[in-house]
Chain A
Amino acid sequence: MRQMSTEMYGKGYGMPSSHAQFVGFFSLYFALFLLLRHAPNPSTSQHATTFLERVVLSILACLGAGAVSVSRVYLNYHTPKQVVAGCAVGIMFAVFWFSFTSYLRKHGWIDWALDFPLARHARIRDLVVSEDLVEAGWQRWEARRKLKRREDSGASRKSI
């Protein structure tokens, strides 16, 4: 029997599954960020996500990662062992990377890097840790709109 092309099975080696590792890292780092690092300041963003909402988001991300992992076995691109190994490596690396970035933050390396002229010109910022980005942008827009309406009503009163 002639051997079939590897294209049909998926290319290269299978241990550990790169899909499982990718989504494993993504979902856990995302969850760790939402639950441990992202703390929107209540005074600036009242309508930011609550902790419970962030827990739900994290669970959804993990469920999605689980679905992707299971699909690899279902399509027979990987053995269950390869997928479990991929998830394990992704999760371990996410924990390592989160600790590493926490270290960088704690010891001022992020602030140091953001002070470089190139980073400043490229407008790299570090806002999402303490603020809800949607709220921050929306409040600015709301304030501007209110100001414009006040000006418009003032102008119309003058013309009468």
Chain B
Amino acid sequence: MLLPCVSPTKYIARYLDSIFGSLGYLTVLISLTYSQDVATGAASGFPLSDPCPLREILPVGVHTFALLTNGYQNPRDIFSYLSAWLALVPQALCIVYVTLIWSSREVEVILMFVGQLVCEILNFVLKRWIREERPKRGFYNATVMSFFAPVIRPANETNVHRNVW
């Protein structure tokens, strides 16, 4: 017989490492792809129209990349620069969770990560239940908006229907 006789559980367990690794990579790749989309999208006048479910579930700091890469933040203000980096903390913690689970296999870390994910689902539900808008035109956004006003506009007519303008 070419294939050695392995029980299915052992077979799955053997590939758990690859599954863990792929999950970690996927998390990083998706967050990077979307941040890139937002950064280039905002700059080229093509804001993202299709909401990504993952972005709603994980508090992915996509705006941070836009902030950092497009120079939205006021360069004279170190606190906005710092805040932009702080927005990435949940993403960093997710990577820490996946790495710790993969390397230590501690049930306590798995339980904490499951709790964290349930907490995110709870937030997802609460947001859609309460339906309270984010703050609109604060000083910060107003400055940014007026500065980027010539750049941020729909590139063609079809774009108008797909986006909230």
Q: Which residues of A contact B (CB under 8 A)?
A: 2-16, 18-19, 21-23, 25-26, 29-30, 33, 37, 64, 67-68, 70-72, 74-79, 82, 86, 89-90, 93-94, 97, 101, 104, 110, 113-114, 117-118, 121-129, 133
Contact B80 A97 (CB under 8 A): no
Main secondary structure on A side of the interface with B:
helix
Q: Does B107 contact A (CB under 8 A)?
A: yes
Q: In the complex, what distance in Å separates the CA atom of A90 from the CA atom of B83?
A: 20
The chain A residue sitting closest to B48, CB to CB, is A7
Q: How far is the CB of A2 from chain B (nearest CB, A)?
A: 6
- Verify B165–A5 contact, CB threshold 8 A: yes
For residue A4, which residue of chain B has the nearest CB?
A: B145
Given A11-B56, A78-B134, CB of A124 within 8 Å of CB of B107: yes
**B-side contacts of A6, CB under 8 Å:** 164
- Chain A minimum-CB-distance residue to B133: A14
Residues of B whose CB lies within 8 Å of any CB of A are 7, 9-10, 12-14, 16, 38, 41-42, 47-48, 51, 55-56, 59, 63, 66-67, 79-80, 82-84, 86-87, 89-90, 93, 104-112, 115-116, 118-120, 122-123, 126-128, 130-136, 138-141, 144-145, 148, 152, 163-165
Verify A10–B63 contact, CB threshold 8 A.
yes
Contacts of B134 in A (CB 8 A): 9-10, 13-14, 77-79, 82
- Report whether A117 and B135 are in contact in the complex, using a CB–CB cutoff of 8 Å: no
With contact pairs A8-B141, A76-B138, A125-B107 given, residues A13 and B133 touching in the complex (Cβ less than 8 Å): yes
**CB-based contact B42/A7 at 8 Å:** yes
Bound: A19/B62 CA distance, A? 12
- CB pair B89 A64 closer than 8 Å: yes
* Contact A89 B115, beta carbon cutoff 8 Å: no
Residues of B within 8 A of A118 (CB): 9, 12-13
Taking a contact as CB atoms under 8 Å apart, the answer to whether B89 and A78 are in contact is: no
Is B119 a contact partner of A22 (Cβ separation < 8 A)? yes
* Min distance, Cβ A85 to any Cβ of chain B, angstroms: 9
A5/B115 in contact, CB under 8 A? no
